[in-house]
Amino acid sequence: MKKNKENNAGLFSHILQANIPYTLLSIIIGFVVGAVLLAIAGIDPIATFGALADGIFGKSKYIVWSIVYATPIILTGLSVAFSFQTGVFNIGAEGQFVVGSMAACCVGIFCNLPKPLHILVCLLAAALAGGIWSMFVAILKVKRGINEVLSFIMFNWIAYYLSNYLVNIPAIHKDGDGEATKNIAESASMLMKFDDKALKAFFGTGASFSIVVALIAAIVIAFILNKTTLGYKLKAVGFNRFAAEYGGISSNREILTALTISGMLSGLGGACQVMGMGQRISQFSSQEGFGFQGITVALIASSNPIGCIFSGLFYGAMKYGGSKLTLVNAPSEIVNIIMGTIIFFIAIAPAIKKLILRGRKGN
Amino acid sequence: MGRESHADPSVTVVAMKDIVKKFGDFTANDGINLTVHKGEVHAILGENGAGKSTLMNILYGLYKPTSGTIEIGGKQVNIDSPEKAIELGIGMVHQHFMLVQPFTVTENIILGMEPRKGLVVDIPSARKRVQELSEKYGLQVDPDAKIEDISVGMQQRVEILKVLYRGADILILDEPTASLTPQEITELIEIIGHLTRDGKTVILITHKLKEIKASADCCTIIRQGKYIDTVDVNNVDENDLASMMVGRKVNFKVEKAEIEPGEVALKVEDIHGLDYRGVEILKGLSLQVRKGEIVGLAGVDGNGQTELVEILTGLRKGTAGSVMVDGKEVFNKTPREIFEAGITSIPADRQKHGLILQFSNENNMILQNFREPEFSKMGVLKKDAIHKHAAELFEKFDIRPREHEAYPAGTLSGGNQQKVIIAREITNDSDVLIAVNPTRGLDVGAIEYVHKYLVEQRNKGKAVLLVSFELDEIMSLSDEIDVIFNGQIVGKVAGKDAEENALGLMMAGGNSSEKE
C-alpha cells in the first residue's frame, strides 16, 4: 500500500516535470481571459464559446474544414519548430509559404501530368522554392554574419510583392474579372470529390487529403531529429555551438541545412493551401499570416514535431470556428486574443513550473 | 601552521542533528550531525557529490530536510527560507557569484536593503558603511568600482561583504577557492582569520586538503551522504583527511615507470596567432611531443596557452606556422580533419567545449564518433550500440551515478562530467592527447584517477601535451616541462630535474635555462 502511494507520488511529480500540463493550463487560462474580455464587452461568453464549439464540432463537415484549415499551419509550425531545435529562428516561414504556393500554383497550371504524379511534382516544386528562399537568408547569415531575423522579415515582403506581381501576369491571371490566378489543373488538386450523396453530405465540399502531407512531414521530421546523425548534428549546434564545433561539426553548414529544410516545410505548407483549398492564389491586400501562425503552433508544441500536429489542429479549428463567430455578433478577433494569451502563459510556464516544483521540494 | 584559533568550544552556535534529505529515491544526506562553535572555522570535507552542498543548503533554508533538527544558538529553529536564515544571522557565499555586473561594489552590497533618504537611495551613507565593514575585516574593495572591472578575488570579497552587511554571524563559504589564484587564496585565508577574530563563525565547504590544514580548526567529513567523523585539524595530516574522504588510501605520488620515448608525434613550429582582441599573443612558439612522453606546458594564465590549444585543435586560425601530427600537416585545418589526423583533447572549459549539457551522456560519448559505422548506418543512429558503449565507459571509468547514461550530462556533478569527457577522449585512442587543466575543480580521489589515466596513455605510447596552471600537477606528471611566457617557449627542463622556484622564475619571464 505504501509502495503504491510512493509510486503515485512519483508519477505525479513526473507529470509536474513534463510540459504538457502547463500547456493545457495555458490553454484554459487563454479561454478564461477571453471570457472575461467578452463579458466586459457585454457579450455572453458562454454563448460565444458555445457557438465556437458548434462551429467546429457541430457537423462532420465542420471538422473536415477545421482539418483543412489546420494543414498549412501544421507545416509552417513544423518549419519554425525545426529551426528552433537548431537554435535559429525562422521568422521567414511566411515568405517561404508564399513562394511555395507560387511554385505549386505555376506547376499546377502549366504542367500537364497524370494525377498522382502532378501532385508530387507540385509539392516538390513548392518544397524546392521554399527551401531555396530560406537558403538565401541562411547563406547571408553564414557567410556575411547578417542576422537572420532581419533578412527573413525583408524576404517575407519580397515574397509578398512577388506574389502580387505573379497574379497579374497575363498568362497566369484568370480570365475575366477578379484579382486572382487561373485555377490549377484538376490533376494537381488535392480536393476530394464524392459522387455518393451520403459521403458528400458527410465530408462537405471542402474535403482534401492535404493533411496526409502534414502528417508524413511531422513523422519524417521527428525521425530526423531523434534517430539520425543529421538530427544529432543539428541539435548539437542548437544546444551548444562551441561543443559541436569542438566535436568536429561545422555549425555554419548545419545552420544552412536546418534553414533549408525549414524553408522546404513552409513551402509545402503553401502548396497544401493552394492545392488542398484555394486552387488559386488571390491578390494579397496584406500578409496572410500562415508563417506567423506557425510560430504560435511551434511554441504551443514546445517545438516537438508530433506536438505540432495537435497544436496545428487546435489553431486550425480555432481559426475556422472563429470565422463564424460574427454570426452570433461576437468579434472573431477574440480567437486572436485567446491564442495570444495562451502564448503568453506558455512563455512564462517555465517560471510557474519552477515555483511549483520548488514549493514541492520542501515536502 | 602557526595559525591562531579563535574558537570558543563552550558556545555552540550551530547544531544539526541526524539530518536526512531525500530527493525521490536518492538519499543525499543520510543522518548527518554537525556541531559548530563560536569563532570556529569548521570545514566540511567530501568528494564531488558527497552531499556537502545539500547540507549547507538545508542550513541556509534552500532545502527542507526530510528529517532531523537544527538548533541555532541553542534554540531549535525551522529554517524554511533564506530570509529566515539571514534573520538568524546565517549568510552564504555561493561558489558561483551572484552579482550584477554593471553595478558598483556598493550598489551590489546594498541591493535589496538600500538605506533611504526620503525616496532616493542614500548612496553616500551606504558607501561609508561598506568602507567601515571592509576596513574592519581587512576586505579590500573599491566601493565605486563596477563588478565587471574587478578581479575574481575582489568579487568574492564583495560577496562576503554582502553577507556581513546583512548582519551575518555565521558565514557559509561554498567552495570559495575554486576560481581563485594562489595569491588570492592566501588573502582569503587571512580574511577568514580576521572574521573569526571578531567573533564570526565560518563554515567552509571544500575538497582541498591544503586549505583545510591552513585555515580550519575542525573538519567534518561526509562520504556518499553519510557522516564519517569530525576531527581536530591539528591532529590529522592531509593523507588522513584524504583517506577518510575517499574511503580508501589515496596515493598522492604518481607512479610513473621510466620509458624511452619514441618518435615525434606532435611537432609545432613557429606558431603565430592573435587573441580575441586581434593582438598577437603567440609569437613564434615551437614545441614537440614524442610518443610515450608527457610534455607539461607550464605558465601563468594569459601567456598564449588558450590560443595555442585552440589553434592545435582547429577552433582558432593561426596567422603563421606549422603543426605536424605523425608527419602530416594540420595547421589551420578544421577540427574534424585534425581529429582524424590523430589529435584529441580534454578541453579547459568542460561545459562550453567539452559537453553538450542538454544531450544525454550516451550522446555526449559519441561527439566525435557518431559518423562511425559502429554508431550509425546510412545516417541513422544505432541507439542500442550507443547506449551499450556509454554503459561500458560508465563502468570502466567509474562514472557516478551508474544507470545515468540516458540522462542529460548537465545532471552529473562536475567531477563526473569531467570523467565523461576523459572517458570519451581516452577511448578515441588518438596518437596525440592534449589535456588542458584536466583536474580543475576535482577532488583528490578523482584527480588520482585522471593522473593515472594520463600516465597510462603515455605508457601505451601516446604523446601527451599537458597544459595546466597547477604547477604541482605539471611537475609530478611531466617527462619534460616547457615554460611558456609571452607567447613563446622560454625554457625546457627535464621533469625529474624541475625545481619549483626555477620554474616560477621562468614563468614570470625571469632567467631561462635554455633560451632559444
**B360 in any annotated domain:** yes
> Is the minimum CB–CB distance between B334 and chain A shorter than 8 Å?
yes
Closest residue in chain A to residue B381, using alpha carbons only: A228
C-alpha distance from B307 to closest chain A C-alpha (Å): 14
- Summarised one tens digit per residue, pLDDT across range B111-141 is 888 888 888 888 888 899 899 988 888 888 8
All 3 cell numbers of residue A153? 522579415
One domain for residues B308 and B355: no
Given this model, what pLDDT does residue B237 score? 87
Which residues of chain A make contact with B376, given a CB cutoff of 8 A?
228-229
| Interchain pair A361, B359: CB under 8 A | no
Are B465 and B261 a contacting pair, CB within 8 Å?
no
Q: Annotate B274-326 with DSSP letters as a single string.
A: E-TTS-EEEEEEEEEEETTEEEEEE--TTSSHHHHHHHHHTSS--SEEEEEET
Using CA atoms, how far residue B509 sits from B5, B170, B285, B486, in Å, is: 39, 43, 15, 8
Q: What percent of chain B has pLDDT over 70?
A: 97
Structure-model confidence comparison of residues A279 and B248, the more confident one: A279
**B356 in any annotated domain:** yes
Helix, strand counts (H, E) of chain A: 16, 0
Nearest to B354 among A228, A233, A243 (CB): A243
One domain for residues B373 and B329: no
**B497 in any annotated domain:** yes
Given this model, what pLDDT does residue A288 score? 86
All 3 cell numbers of residue B43? 570545514
**B43 in any annotated domain:** yes
| Owning domain of residue B62 | 1-88+210-244
Residues 287-326 of B with CB under 8 A from A: 313, 315
One domain for residues B328 and B461: yes
Structure-model confidence comparison of residues B366 and B300, the more confident one: B366
| Interchain pair B336, A249: CB under 8 A | yes
Which residues of chain B make contact with A244, given a CB cutoff of 8 A?
356
pLDDT exceeds 70 at position B506: yes
Given this model, what pLDDT does residue A335 score? 85
Contacts of A263 (CB under 8 A, 6+ apart): A79, A90, A92, A96, A130, A131, A132, A133, A134, A135
| Interchain pair B358, A239: CB under 8 A | yes
What pTM was computed for the model? Answer: 0.76
SS3 at position B21: strand
Contacts of A276 (CB under 8 A, 6+ apart): A68, A71, A72, A190, A191, A208, A209, A210, A211
Which residues of chain A make contact with B82, given a CB cutoff of 8 A?
none
Residue B225, domain CATH: 3.40.50.300
- Summarised one tens digit per residue, pLDDT across range B143-170 is 888 887 887 778 888 999 999 998 899 9
Domain count, chain B: 3
One domain for residues B2 and B76: yes
C-alpha distance from B227 to closest chain A C-alpha (Å): 22
One domain for residues B226 and B300: no
**B130 in any annotated domain:** no
All 3 cell numbers of residue B215? 585555515
All 3 cell numbers of residue B36? 559548530
Helix axes A251-273, A60-85, angle to 10 degrees: 170
| Interchain pair A10, B24: CB under 8 A | yes
Contacts of A105 (CB under 8 A, 6+ apart): A166, A172, A181, A184, A274, A280, A281
For residue B225, the one-letter residue type is G
Are B123 and B101 a contacting pair, CB within 8 Å?
no
Average pLDDT over residues B390-408: 87
Q: Scanning the structure block, which residue is given the C-alpha cell 543529421?
A: A230
> Is the minimum CB–CB distance between B12 and chain A shorter than 8 Å?
no
Q: Annotate A158-204 with DSSP letters as a single string.
A: HHHHHHHHHHTSTTTBPSSSSSBBPPPPGGG--B----SHHHHHHH-
Q: Is B159 exposed, middle or buried (0-12, 13-18, 19+ CB in 10 A)?
A: buried
Secondary structure of B208-263 as H, E, C letters = CHHHHHHHCCEEEEEECCEEEEEEEHHHCCHHHHHHHHHCCCCCCCCCCCCCCCCC
**B99 in any annotated domain:** no
- Summarised one tens digit per residue, pLDDT across range B270-326 is 999 998 778 899 999 999 999 999 999 998 777 888 899 999 999 999 999 999 999
Residues A281, A287, A292, CA angle at the centre, nearest 5°? 110
Nearest to A230 among B313, B367, B379 (CB): B379
Using CA atoms, how far residue A152 sits from A134, A136, A271, in Å, is: 8, 9, 20
Most A CBs within 10 A among B309, B370, B425, B427, hence the mutation to make, goes to B370
> Is the minimum CB–CB distance between B97 and chain A shorter than 8 Å?
no
Q: What is the β-pairing status of strands B8-23 and B67-72?
A: antiparallel
> Is the minimum CB–CB distance between B116 and chain A shorter than 8 Å?
no
C-alpha distance from B249 to closest chain A C-alpha (Å): 36
Domains and CATH numbers, chain A: 1-43+336-363 (no CATH), 59-330 (1.10.3470)
Please state, in angstroms and rounded to a whole number, the distance separating the CA atoms of residues B177 and B93: 11
| Interchain pair A232, B334: CB under 8 A | no
| Interchain pair A229, B371: CB under 8 A | yes
Closest residue in chain A to residue B371, using alpha carbons only: A229
- How many residues in total does chain B contain? 516
Most A CBs within 10 A among B346, B367, B382, hence the mutation to make, goes to B367
Given this model, what pLDDT does residue B137 score? 85
pLDDT band at B511 (very low <50, low <70, confident <90, very high): low
**B258 in any annotated domain:** no
- Residue B279: count of CB within 10 angstroms of its CB: 7
Given this model, what pLDDT does residue A232 score? 95
Please state, in angstroms and rounded to a whole number, the distance separating the CA atoms of residues B463 and B292: 6
| Interchain pair A243, B339: CB under 8 A | no
One domain for residues B5 and B84: yes
pLDDT exceeds 80 at position B179: no
> Is the minimum CB–CB distance between B367 and chain A shorter than 8 Å?
yes
Final residue before a domain boundary, out of B382, B408, B428: B428
Which residues of chain B make contact with A245, given a CB cutoff of 8 A?
315, 335
Given this model, what pLDDT does residue B435 score? 94
Nearest to A243 among B24, B352, B380 (CB): B352
Are B481 and B296 a contacting pair, CB within 8 Å?
yes
pLDDT along chain A (363 residues), means of 10: 45 62 86 89 87 89 92 96 92 96 94 91 96 96 91 95 91 82 89 86 87 96 94 94 92 94 97 92 86 92 91 92 82 84 83 71 44
Which residues of chain A make contact with B381, given a CB cutoff of 8 A?
227-229, 232
Given this model, what pLDDT does residue B150 score? 80
One domain for residues B219 and B290: no
All 3 cell numbers of residue A92? 521567414
Q: Scanning the structure block, which residue is given the C-alpha cell 502564448?
A: A343
| Least confident residue range of A83-97, B373-387, B414-428 | B414-428
pLDDT exceeds 50 at position B441: yes
One domain for residues B219 and B233: yes
Residues 19-58 of B with CB under 8 A from A: 24
- Summarised one tens digit per residue, pLDDT across range A233-273 is 999 999 999 999 999 999 999 999 999 999 999 999 999 99
Q: What is the β-pairing status of strands B320-325 and B218-223?
A: unpaired
Nearest to B353 among A227, A242, A250 (CB): A242
The pLDDT mean for chain B works out to: 87
**How big, in percent rounded to 5, are the helix, strand and coil portions of chain A?**
75, 0, 20
Highest mean pLDDT, choosing among B23-27, B218-222, B416-420: B218-222
Final residue before a domain boundary, out of B386, B405, B428: B428
> Is the minimum CB–CB distance between B379 and chain A shorter than 8 Å?
yes
Q: Is B326 exposed, middle or buried (0-12, 13-18, 19+ CB in 10 A)?
A: middle
One domain for residues B307 and B323: yes
One domain for residues B28 and B81: yes
All 3 cell numbers of residue B450? 585522471
- Summarised one tens digit per residue, pLDDT across range B458-471 is 999 999 999 988 78
One domain for residues B411 and B279: no
Residues 209-228 of B with CB under 8 A from A: none
Final residue before a domain boundary, out of B369, B395, B428: B428
Nearest to B335 among A228, A239, A246 (CB): A246
- Summarised one tens digit per residue, pLDDT across range B332-348 is 999 999 999 999 999 98
DSSP one-letter code for B5: P
Maximum pairwise Cα distance, chain A = 78
**B79 in any annotated domain:** yes
Nearest to B315 among A245, A361, A363 (CB): A245
pLDDT exceeds 90 at position B391: yes
Are A362 and B23 a contacting pair, CB within 8 Å?
no
C-alpha distance from B268 to closest chain A C-alpha (Å): 20
For residue B371, the one-letter residue type is R
One domain for residues B317 and B455: yes
Are A297 and A315 a contacting pair, CB within 8 Å?
yes
Please state, in angstroms and rounded to a whole number, the distance separating the CA atoms of residues A64 and A207: 6
